[in-house]
Chains A and B, each alone.
Chain A
Amino acid sequence: MKNKVLKNDHFTRQENLPPMHKGPGIAPRLFFMIFALLTLMVISSLVAFWRNRTVHDAFEKILYEIPHERAINDVQTAITDYIMPANDYLITGDPVEILNRDILDEKVRLAFVECYRLARDDETPLVKRVEDDFIKIKNLSDEIFSFNVSTDRELAGKIMKNMDKLAIDSRIHVRDLLKMHDQHMASASYEAEQAWRSTRRWMTSMFFLALILGMGLATYISLSILRPLKILDTTATKIAGGDLSGALVIERKGELTSLAESFNQMIISLRHQIETSKTILNAIADPVFTVDNNMTITYFSNACERLTGFSAEEALGQRCRDIFKSNICENLCAIRRSARQDKPVLNVEIQMKNKESDTIPIMASASCLKDWKGNIMGGCEVFRDISDWKRMTKELKDAEQQLILSERLAVLGRLASSVGHELRNPLAVVQNSAYYLKSKIGEDQPKLIKHIHMIENEIDSANKIIEDLLGFSRTKKPELIPLYLNSTIESSLHRIRVREDVKIDLNLDPDIPNMMGDKNQLHQVLVNLISNAEHAIGKNSGQITITTKKRGENIELKISDTGCGIAEEDIGKLFDPFFTTKTKGIGLGLAITKSIIKNHKGKIDLTSVKGKGTDFIITFKSQTQ
């Protein structure tokens, strides 16, 4: 394995695949193999040819010796053919003419010609000797037949002796010749056998040589051709498995170079495509993840990491519900629903938990992942953190409601204002009348006086209500001037009277900074809160404590009472206009208070314990803020 960095590949990564080629290419290899095999064939045929000649020569020799033997035998027969009649004549004296003497002569001649032709150098003298013998025998035989045996017995005997001697000699000479011939025959067959043996050896070795060489070459060639194919196969398998980390290393140009290059190009473009889709997926601001059919996470985008707090490494391979811990993972999972209905499921609102177990509201959309056959192989979910959106819509809704409310309040305010004002006129007349009556009724009419007091008191109450109404409708902006809240409170309290058995305690922090405020409106706030506190205390005795305190840059004003407290279900509605629990209240005090404090850029809170009392806490900003 060779590690190499592909320079022109912009993904620059370690290559971990073996080189495609090593050594010569396939064409020279094939050429070399065929050439080697052809050469082998030529050599084998040459060897065969050569061996064939040797064998042939050897057998030639044997074949050569066979007619020779026949010729010798013919010669011997011919000699015997000459001797036998001569002998017979000599013995019997009965001249038996040699039959077909001419044919015999011709036969003998041919036999000798044959003998000579086939004789070897060392045989020729032997043939010659036999021929001499034959000529002698022939002459002798001729001589025998030229005279009458019966007449000349003695000579006949002599000739016979000669003849016998010649016959024996010739037989010996023929035997010598045959012996010599046998020797030649034996050497020829030995040679032939030798030639055959060596040929067989040659052939065997050639066979094995060719076998081994052929096998070797075949193995080498097939290996060397198959190796790059094998590498291609390995790489393709890897790619099929989704591993695109490697590329083929091309060391040298070869037949498969262009294939390998296309292959590398394919890997690069695949990688590029995958990288691009990953980049796109990761660039999507909304988190995206995919799961397989076991709901195991198979993809986890960057946005997912950010939202959930889990890294992709942690999330991949985990079960979906372990990561998202959503409230409806089990039964209402969007992916499952999408799989069941076989169509995307859009905008399901879910609560999920992130790594820190904070609950995040999300809006999820899911669809099925299908393979090319259309089988569902998992699901893909895109979701969105809607906490901001939710907060915004809530704010919007609040603002809208506020607007509606304030519009309604404006109309109400105008109505309240004109009604309030118009009520003052009759009230003034009633008050005048009551005054007049009071001045006319003497001390002796206590009941009438009591009634007139009641009229006057009720005029006061009515006036109070009108004050509230008008105060509420007075939406004018505060005229802010720098003021020291403690002094404002003190001067305000001079103008506020409470029942005897309600004690007002002041606990003012002299260190509070100046603030921007409208004295009249702040006075109104105090009037409202103190009157509420007084009402809450009811007929019992109680205490109202007014505290100021420096809180960092802010000023805190607390008005506490020991009254009846507030029921928990009422706390939310307390500042709503016209919310009241009193038979004589109109429920505008706190609404006015809140709007004044809002205009001062402050805020108002409260804590209350039912039966124990209530604290209203107002926070103002200091002048410098």
Chain B
Amino acid sequence: MLREKEPILSLHLNPKPNKNIIQVQNNDKLKILVVDDQPGMCETLVDIIEDAGYFIDSAENGIIAIEKTKASKFDLILMDIIMPGKNGVETLKEIKKFHPQAIVILMTAYTAPDLIMEAQKAGVYECLGKPFSPGRLLKIIERLDKEKESNLKKNKKVCQ
């Protein structure tokens, strides 16, 4: 079977992770929020990521996501773009206002170039086209987690 080596929609917009995460976390592990209007998507991702040993919460729309982020600062937010009410990009912009260190990965089933452009400007980390391989997502999460860990270590060294 012929298959492409990479999904067409996977664009590395910000290949380098945000270097200035200096916030001290209670838990060393990455805190993740999944935002999707589709309950199946939230549930499956929650199960997969939880089982991988991360803290994960879910929200079914943008407003709830903003509230939850305000309540407890998530390191990584996995968000659908097309959602009823606030769409992913708008939510991203708002979150970035009060929590600029948040790493946001957008997921989309649609090819919506202008929204992706906007998201890029607002500082999205990566856009994933649905369906994507959960294994790949886990690899990204793992990498981000390692970065966070080393950042924390650096911070600790700085404090000491």
A: which residues have CB within 8 A of B? Answer: 421-422, 424-433, 435-436, 439, 457, 459-461, 463-464, 467, 470, 474, 494-499, 527, 530-531, 534
What's the minimum C-beta distance from B54 to chain A, rounded to whole angstroms?
A: 14
Q: Is the CB of A470 within 8 A of B41?
A: no
Q: Is the CB of B41 within 8 A of A428?
A: yes
Docked pose: A301 CA to B133 CA in angstroms: 79
Residues of B in contact, count (CB < 8 Å): 26
Q: Is the CB of A436 within 8 A of B130?
A: no
Contact of A496 (CB < 8 Å), options: B4, B48, B131, B135: B4
Contact of A425 (CB < 8 Å), options: B3, B38, B51, B111: B38
Docked pose: A433 CA to B134 CA in angstroms: 9
Q: Is the CB of B4 within 8 A of A427?
A: no
Q: Which residues of A contact B133 (CB under 8 A)?
A: 431, 435
What's the minimum C-beta distance from A544 to chain B, rounded to whole angstroms?
A: 11
* Most B Cβ at <10 Å: residue of A436, A467, A498: A436
Interface assignment of B5: CB less than 8 Å from any CB of chain A: yes
Q: Is the CB of A429 within 8 A of B3?
A: no
Q: Is the CB of A433 within 8 A of B4?
A: no
Tell me the B104-143 residues at the A interface (CB within 8 Å): 107, 109-111, 129-135
Q: Is the CB of B134 within 8 A of A436?
A: yes
* Additional 14 contacts, C-beta under 8 A, given A428-B131, A433-B44, A496-B2: A421-B110, A424-B131, A426-B40, A429-B38, A432-B45, A433-B40, A435-B134, A435-B135, A436-B51, A463-B131, A497-B2, A499-B1, A527-B2, A534-B2
Docked pose: A498 CA to B45 CA in angstroms: 32
Docked pose: A551 CA to B3 CA in angstroms: 32
Q: Which residues of A contact B51 (CB under 8 A)?
A: 436, 439
Q: Is the CB of A432 within 8 A of B110?
A: no
What's the minimum C-beta distance from A278 to chain B, rounded to whole angstroms?
A: 71
Residue of B nearest to A459 (CB): B131
Q: Is the CB of B109 within 8 A of A421?
A: yes
Q: Which residues of A contact B1 (CB under 8 A)?
A: 457, 460-461, 499
Q: Is the CB of A432 within 8 A of B44?
A: yes
Docked pose: A460 CA to B4 CA in angstroms: 10
Q: Which residues of A contact B134 (CB under 8 A)?
A: 431-432, 435-436
Q: Which residues of A contact B131 (CB under 8 A)?
A: 424, 427-428, 430-432, 459, 463
Docked pose: A467 CA to B6 CA in angstroms: 13
Docked pose: A499 CA to B131 CA in angstroms: 23
Q: Which residues of B contact A530 (CB under 8 A)?
A: 2
Q: Is the CB of B111 within 8 A of A439?
A: no
**A/B interface sample: 9 pairs, CB < 8 A:** A422-B109, A431-B132, A432-B48, A432-B131, A433-B44, A436-B44, A459-B131, A460-B3, A499-B2
Residue of A nearest to B129 (CB): A424
Residue of A nearest to B112 (CB): A421
Q: Which residues of A contact B41 (CB under 8 A)?
A: 425, 428-429, 432
* Most B Cβ at <10 Å: residue of A426, A433, A435: A435
Q: Is the CB of B111 within 8 A of A470?
A: yes
What's the minimum C-beta distance from B71 to chain A, rounded to whole angstroms?
A: 26
Q: Which residues of B contact A495 (CB under 8 A)?
A: 4-6
Contact of A498 with B47 at beta-carbon distance under 8 Å, contacts A421-B110, A431-B131, A431-B134 already known? no
What's the minimum C-beta distance from A540 to chain B, rounded to whole angstroms?
A: 16
Q: Which residues of A contact B111 (CB under 8 A)?
A: 421, 470, 474
Contact of A435 with B48 at beta-carbon distance under 8 Å, contacts A422-B109, A429-B41 already known? yes
Residue of B nearest to A457 (CB): B1
What's the minimum C-beta distance from B46 to chain A, rounded to whole angstroms?
A: 10
Residue of B nearest to A524 (CB): B8
Residue of B nearest to A433 (CB): B44
Q: Is the CB of B2 within 8 A of A428?
A: no
Contact of A497 with B44 at beta-carbon distance under 8 Å, contacts A425-B109, A435-B134 already known? no
Q: Is the CB of B109 within 8 A of A424?
A: yes
Docked pose: A423 CA to B110 CA in angstroms: 10
Residue of B nearest to A440 (CB): B51
Residue of B nearest to A474 (CB): B111
Residue of A nearest to B130 (CB): A428
Q: Which residues of B contact A422 (CB under 8 A)?
A: 109
Docked pose: A108 CA to B124 CA in angstroms: 196
What's the minimum C-beta distance from B57 to chain A, rounded to whole angstroms?
A: 17
Docked pose: A15 CA to B3 CA in angstroms: 93
Q: Is the CB of A439 within 8 A of B48?
A: yes
Q: Is the CB of A497 within 8 A of B132?
A: no
* Most A Cβ at <10 Å: residue of B1, B5, B48: B1
Docked pose: A587 CA to B50 CA in angstroms: 42
Q: Is the CB of A428 within 8 A of B110?
A: no
Q: Which residues of B contact A499 (CB under 8 A)?
A: 1-2
What's the minimum C-beta distance from B105 to chain A, rounded to whole angstroms?
A: 14
A interface footprint on B4-47 (CB within 8 Å = 1, 0 otherwise): 11101000000000000000000000000000001011001101
Docked pose: A429 CA to B48 CA in angstroms: 12
Docked pose: A494 CA to B6 CA in angstroms: 11
Residue of A nearest to B80 (CB): A425
Q: Which residues of B contact A497 (CB under 8 A)?
A: 2-5
Residue of A nearest to B5 (CB): A495
Q: Is the CB of B132 within 8 A of A428?
A: yes
What's the minimum C-beta distance from A612 to chain B, rounded to whole angstroms?
A: 22
What's the minimum C-beta distance from A192 to chain B, rounded to whole angstroms?
A: 155
Docked pose: A428 CA to B8 CA in angstroms: 15
Q: Is the CB of A424 within 8 A of B44?
A: no
Q: Which residues of B contact A430 (CB under 8 A)?
A: 131
Docked pose: A470 CA to B51 CA in angstroms: 35
What's the minimum C-beta distance from B137 to chain A, rounded to whole angstroms?
A: 9
Residue of A nearest to B131 (CB): A428
Residue of A nearest to B44 (CB): A432
What's the minimum C-beta distance from A70 to chain B, rounded to whole angstroms?
A: 171
Residue of B nearest to A435 (CB): B134
Docked pose: A252 CA to B87 CA in angstroms: 112
What's the minimum C-beta distance from B138 to chain A, rounded to whole angstroms?
A: 9
What's the minimum C-beta distance from A466 to chain B, rounded to whole angstroms?
A: 9
Docked pose: A463 CA to B5 CA in angstroms: 14
Docked pose: A615 CA to B45 CA in angstroms: 46
* Most A Cβ at <10 Å: residue of B48, B130, B132: B130
Q: Is the CB of A429 within 8 A of B44?
A: yes
What's the minimum C-beta distance from B48 to chain A, rounded to whole angstroms?
A: 5
Q: Which 9 A-B pairs have the closest CB atoms?
A: A432-B44, A424-B109, A428-B131, A429-B40, A428-B130, A435-B134, A431-B131, A427-B131, A424-B130
What's the minimum C-beta distance from A519 to chain B, rounded to whole angstroms?
A: 12
Docked pose: A495 CA to B6 CA in angstroms: 7
Q: Is the CB of A425 within 8 A of B130?
A: yes
Docked pose: A499 CA to B1 CA in angstroms: 6
Residue of B nearest to A426 (CB): B40
